[in-house]
């Protein structure tokens, strides 16, 4: 698609940043109009920094007023400065127009990236007065209809994958006449449950990142390259303190009453059997457990 030399992108989310960086790689001069400040911008902060480093201009507290055409062809965009007023329903401060602050920008193309909404064509029966589909906990939104993804509200791919998994389990249970899988009953792990001093400190891994000049010169290259084998093995050796037993043997080594017996068929999350009749209730194992798996309850 020929976007022309000057592209205006309207929006402040990840789609707006993606559109702007793609247009920049096509050789255009790109300006993003965002009606709030950088602090309210929902796009991933690192990608906003990358966009700025690649030469994209972001006009914060600015919103389009008019697209001016000549012979049906876009020529300029008139924008207006905004100020932040009281918080709106999203919790962010509502943009308020600043009268008399209009300014004009050259434009050959205008890309609107200002959120999304479901396409209700053919799905009108699922509408419930909300802009999104409102399903039950297992994803069912109508008789024998399950849903997942952005139709439930804007989110990440990982959320959609999880919703799809829950829907698949619900469909399987319905067809087989089985009960639904029970919800996760594990107690959430909090910073108070984790003993970070148990682990050897490791510096943060930073993926290789191409300089902006190389990115624009070769737009098909990955901006953030992959890590090497040694770095990968170091990263997967980390414990993420998910609350599952990982066989550190702290409880086994320090229990004076032999309350923990190693399992012959040990597996992730299950390495020892707890012998309640041997427990002296000293609490030492709870104090030493580095990932919060053991608790008084």
List, for residues 44-97, the tens digit of each pLDDT value. 999 999 999 999 999 999 999 999 999 999 999 999 999 999 888 778 888 999
- Give the side-chain half-sphere CA count within 13 A for 295: 14
Residue 169 parent element (H or E): helix 157-176
Residue 95 parent element (H or E): strand 93-106
Q: What is d(CA 16, CA 7) in angstroms, rounded to the nearest whole number? A: 12
Q: What is d(CA 247, CA 167) in angstroms, rounded to the nearest whole number? A: 33
Contact by Cβ (8 Å): 165, 190:
no
Residue 46, C-beta contacts closer than 8 angstroms, at least 6 positions apart? none
Residue 68 or residue 258, greater confidence? 68
Contact by Cβ (8 Å): 28, 3:
yes
% residues pLDDT > 90 (the chain):
52
> Residue range 102-116: average pLDDT?
93
Asked if the model's pLDDT at residue 240 lies above 80, the reply is no
Q: For the chain, how many residues are written?
A: 297
Q: What is d(CA 179, CA 97) in angstroms, rounded to the nearest whole number? A: 55
List, for residues 189-210, the tens digit of each pLDDT value. 777 777 877 777 888 888 888 8
Confidence band for 271, pLDDT divided at 50, 70 and 90: very high
* pLDDT, averaged across the chain: 89
> Residue range 241-255: average pLDDT?
86
Residue 85, C-beta contacts closer than 8 angstroms, at least 6 positions apart? 93, 94, 95, 96
Of 77, 59, 74, 73, the closest CA to residue 16 belongs to: 59
């Amino acid at each position: 698609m020929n976007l022309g030399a000057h592209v205006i992108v309207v929006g402040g989310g990840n789609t707006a940043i993606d559109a702007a960086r793609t247009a920049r790689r096509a050789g255009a001069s790109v300006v993003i109009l965002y009606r709030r400040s950088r602090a309210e911008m929902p796009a991933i902060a690192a990608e906003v920094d990358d966009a700025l480093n690649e030469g994209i201009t972001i006009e914060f507290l600015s919103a389009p007023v008019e697209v001016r055409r000549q012979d049906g062809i876009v020529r300029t965009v008139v924008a207006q400065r905004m100020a932040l007023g009281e918080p709106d329903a999203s919790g962010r401060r509502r943009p308020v127009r600043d009268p008399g602050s209009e300014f004009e920008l050259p434009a050959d193309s205008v890309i609107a990236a200002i959120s999304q909404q479901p396409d209700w064509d053919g799905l009108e029966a699922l509408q419930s007065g909300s802009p999104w589909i409102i399903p039950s906990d297992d994803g069912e939104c109508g008789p024998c209809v399950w849903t997942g993804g952005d139709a439930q509200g804007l989110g990440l791919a990982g959320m959609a994958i999880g919703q799809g998994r829950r829907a698949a389990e619900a469909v399987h249970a319905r067809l087989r006449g089985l009960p639904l899988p029970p919800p996760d009953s594990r107690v959430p792990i909090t910073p108070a449950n984790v003993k970070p001093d148990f682990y050897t400190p490791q510096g943060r891994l930073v993926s290789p990142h191409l300089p902006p000049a190389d990115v624009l010169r070769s737009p098909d290259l990955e901006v953030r390259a992959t890590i090497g084998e040694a770095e990968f093995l170091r990263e997967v050796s980390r414990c993420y303190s998910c609350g599952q037993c990982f066989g550190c043997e702290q409880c086994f080594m320090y229990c004076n009453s032999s309350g923990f017996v190693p399992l012959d068929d040990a597996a992730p999350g299950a390495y020892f059997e707890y012998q309640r009749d041997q427990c002296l209730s000293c609490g030492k194992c709870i104090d030493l457990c580095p990932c919060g798996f053991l608790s008084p309850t």
